[in-house]
Amino acid sequence: MTRTHPLLLIPALLALGLSLVTASAPPALAAGACYADYKAKRDKPYELHYGVMEVSSCDRQQAAEDARGRLARNGWTLLNIVSVFDESGLAGRKSDAGPYYLRF
């Protein structure tokens, strides 16, 4: 029987560790679409709205950047990102967002 040198096991252990980390990532971060619900305002005339939009990342800061840019192009100012979620959270927010459901 041949013996394996201990240094040769390091790449195999690193690969195993990496596969365990990626396998345990939350589903919304691992793959699939991400969405954010948000609150926005406009000054003239003064209006507020709650909406839902698809964003490029499930990271809250990146979602805020996405939303801020899209809303600004349409005359709105982002007030805050309420939450970031995957497709499973869409149905429960559709009626609350009304005309701002996936509008931007």
pLDDT at 17 over 70: no
pLDDT band of residue 3 (cuts 50, 70, 90) is low
Asked if residue 34 lies in contact with residue 85, where contact means CB atoms within 8 angstroms, the answer is: yes
Span 51-84, pLDDT tens digits: 999 999 999 999 999 999 999 999 999 999 999 9
Q: What is the pLDDT of residue 14?
A: 47
102's CB contacts (< 8 A; 6+ apart) are 52, 53, 54
pLDDT in tens, 22-53: 344 444 444 579 999 999 999 989 999 999 99
- Nearest Cα to Cα of residue 34 among 60, 12, 57, 16: 57
Which tops the pLDDT comparison, 81 or 16? 81
**What is the reported pLDDT for 7?**
58
